[in-house]
Amino acid sequence: MKTSSSKHSGSKKTKNLVQQNQRSAKQFLSSLHRAPFVALFAVAILLSALSISIMKPINGTSEVAAATAKWGMNGVDILQSPSDADRIAQLNDIKASGAGWVRFDVTWSYIQPTKTTWNWSYYDKVMNQVQQAGLQPIMLIAYGNTAFGSANNNAPPKNYQDYANFAATVAKRYAPLGFHTYEIWNEPNLSQFWGGKADATAYTSLLKKAYASVRAADPSATVISAGIAPSDNSNNGNLPQQTYLKNMYRAGVKGYFSALGYHPYVGSGWDQI
């Protein structure tokens, strides 16, 4: 009885947190529909930044199979695994949870440390392990590269086409594995991920180039715009999520993404389970 009660309590907390995240996303979209320049449009919200926001308790193999296109986990930690065995165990645990997707950075500055140097061995190994676990990756094409003029590796490059070319190279390399989902940057409405000051117009320019290049390299690609983070003010170079997305539309983003990324952070995730 005690074990059953504990499981019920944990499940209820998980359900409540998922519902909070869903309300956050709906409120975000509702505010956009009231904007005069935003026509009715369909957007796919990818709740990938916060594991608990996209994980659903599942029972039975048929439900697991049905959920693979809907649920996933943010798997940044798998890149920090101390060993292959540890990473494989983590991937298998993600699969066993009922998730079908795992999201992690594909780091430009690591793979291409100079304009003429490439290092694919580590990521080739990780991608093969993801495939063997029966998961689909969301490949976050991560950030800038000082070798291409970025102020730091979280800042955009001087020439956005350089980033787009790297994204296309990733697509060409891993599409043959059956991997076709790419996220273009992460939380650019926060200053720490855009060289010190958020700039929706600049990000939209980068996204347009990356979208065109990735789709040319992989016609089956799903290209997700960078997950926008909740921010209620413009302090320290940040921009509120509604303002940022409206500015993206003013800059002509329509037609340059397959799905809209949004991170509906609520509470502290696992600490609330």
d(CA 171, CA 166): 9
Residue 106 confidence (pLDDT) above 90: yes
- In 3D, which of 144, 168, 170 has the Cα closest to residue 157? 144
pLDDT in tens, 209-265: 999 999 999 999 999 999 999 987 777 899 999 999 999 999 999 999 999 999 987
Return the SS3 of 145.
Answer: coil
Share of the chain above pLDDT 90, in %: 63
> What length is written for the chain?
273
Between 68 and 75, the higher pLDDT residue: 75
Vertex 150: Cα angle to 148 and 154 (nearest 5) = 125
Contact 221, 182 (CB under 8 A): yes
End-to-end C-alpha distance for the chain, whole angstroms: 19
- pTM value? 0.77
The single residue listed with the structure tokens 């505010």 is 31
CA dihedral 179, 184, 189, 191 (to 10 degrees): 110
pLDDT band at 14 (very low <50, low <70, confident <90, very high): very low
Q: Report residue 84 as tokens.
A: 């292959």
- If phi > 0 it is left, if psi is from -120 to 50 it is alpha, else beta; for residue 199 that is beta
